[in-house]
Amino acid sequence: MSDREGELRAIDWVDGAIEIIDQTALPDELVTRRLTTVPDLVEAIRSLAVRGAPALGVAGAMGVALAARAHPTGDDAWEAAVRLVAVARPTAVNLASGAARAAARLHDGPEAVLAEALAVRDEEIASSAAMAARGADLVTALCGPAPRVLTHCNTGSLATVTGGTALGVITELHTRDALGGVIASETRPLLQGSRLTAWELNRNGIDYRLAVDGAGPFLMARGEVDVVIVGADRVCANGDIVNKIGTYAHALGAARAGLPFVVVAPESTVDEATLSGDQVAIEDRDAAEVLGFGGTVVAPAGAGVANPAFDVTPRDLVTAIVTDTRVLHPPEPAHHHPSR
Ligand code: MRU
């Protein structure tokens, strides 16, 4: 079960299949879904029933474990299934890297592929715990004893396996009695902030306020925020951060208000092969997500739509990147003034 003794697991391997919490049903219902085939999993990934970079890494690896059971000889159908999983969404590096990591074990048989997928799961659980401790230490050092935090999107157990990245740090600050407040931005269009982060904060007994995405920079300017803490879908080699759409606006707001902007992401999200944010494929999602919500139409028929699901926050707007093994302080961009 994905909600074992109070521990929330967004994704797990149970009795020969993938079990996820169906995040499209939250906050109304806590529903577990079993995924037994690669097409089931791909649909769950695309619809954001399972989402968040580390959880997608586990999903990728477990999807490949399903494929290995169906195609143990590594034939063309196996290759096609692995590819289907790896490209189900393009932006979070974890999905393709988790799938590749598990796929590399096929020569040792399907059970070795599954063992690798379980290792990815266990490493993400350990990473969450390490990031929570390191991140809480850093935020306390930067901001003092009771910082008021603004966060964006969902970065808790639902986005990892159990624990979280940015929300793991916030929860750890709360546990240490070292949290001054939380503002969660709602995260249009799919409301991961108000549907999922608020649900997790409630569950953990942490007080919070919800704000529309556009309110963040003003709340910072008005002195209601001490630090912004977010996760990442990809950390590029130069320190650029790719994360949920709206992150960049919050980073600009933090810079203008002189506030620290802290990114929390496991090493599995650090992608040394991608030099900078402009090399990342940013997922553009369906217009319907912007034109309405929950069956309510919110725009005139025929309205044009831009719906990038992620944005790039340049490294110079990031105060620090906390991973499970280190704190990366992105270097200042070189200020080169050529003589004219
Ligand atoms: O589209 P989503 O909901 O998968 O996007 C998730 C995010 O942008 C998270 O902030 C990111 O994956 C970090 S979560 C640990």
Tell me what pLDDT residue 329 has: 75
H-run or E-run covering 328? strand 327-328
Tell me what pLDDT residue 126 has: 98
Distance 10 CA to ligand 1 centre (A): 13
Instruction: State which of 94, 228, 244, 323 you would mutate to test the pocket of ligand 1, scoring each by most atoms of that ligand within 8 A of its C-beta.
Output: 244
Distance CA 230, CA 218 (A): 18
The arrangement of strands across the sheet holding 148-151 comes to 209-211, 181-185, 148-151, 227-230, 261-264, 320-322, 327-328
**Domain boundaries defined on the chain:** 3-123, 133-328
Q: Are 221 and 185 in contact (CB under 8 A)?
A: no
Q: Is residue 92 pLDDT above 80, yes or no?
A: yes
Q: Looking at residues 244-263, what average pLDDT do you find?
A: 98
**76 assigned to active site:** no
Tell me what pLDDT residue 1 has: 40
Averaged confidence pLDDT in the chain: 95
Residues 6 or more apart whose CB falls under 8 angstroms from that of 301 comprise none
Distance CA 153, CA 283 (A): 16
Q: Is residue 79 pLDDT above 90, yes or no?
A: yes
Q: Is residue 334 pLDDT above 50, yes or no?
A: yes
Q: Under CATH, to which class is 133-328 assigned?
A: alpha beta
Task: Quickly state the pLDDT bin for 229 (edges 50, 70, 90).
Answer: very high
Q: pLDDT tens digits, residue range 124-162?
A: 999 999 999 999 999 999 999 999 999 999 999 999 999
Task: Quickly state the pLDDT bin for 294 (edges 50, 70, 90).
Answer: confident
Q: Are 152 and 219 in contact (CB under 8 A)?
A: no
CATH hierarchy code of domain 3-123 = 1.20.120.420
Q: Looking at residues 222-235, what average pLDDT do you find?
A: 98
For the CA of 160, the closest atom of ligand 1 is 15
CA-nearest residue, atom 6 of ligand 1: 52
Ligand 1 pocket member 23 (CB < 6 A): no
Q: Is residue 197 pLDDT above 50, yes or no?
A: yes
Tell me what pLDDT residue 332 has: 56
Distance 309 CA to ligand 1 centre (A): 9
**Nearest 5 degrees, angle CA 79-CA 49-CA 123?**
65
The angle, 0 to 180 degrees and rounded to 10, between the axes of the packed helices 110-143 and 166-175 is 60
Distance 74 CA to ligand 1 centre (A): 32
Tell me what pLDDT residue 339 has: 41
Q: pLDDT tens digits, residue range 28-66?
A: 999 999 999 999 999 999 999 999 999 999 999 999 999
Q: How many CB atoms lie within 10 A of CB 91?
A: 20
Ligand 1 pocket member 167 (CB < 6 A): no
Ligand 1 pocket member 159 (CB < 6 A): yes
Q: Looking at residues 193-203, what average pLDDT do you find?
A: 98
Tell me what pLDDT residue 262 has: 98
Q: How far, in whole angstroms, is CA 130 from its chain's centroid?
A: 16
Closest CA to 270 of 110, 156, 107, 131: 131
Distance CA 246, CA 113 (A): 37
Tell me what pLDDT residue 2 has: 47
Q: Looking at residues 264-293, what average pLDDT do you find?
A: 97
Q: How far, in whole angstroms, is CA 78 from its chain's centroid?
A: 28
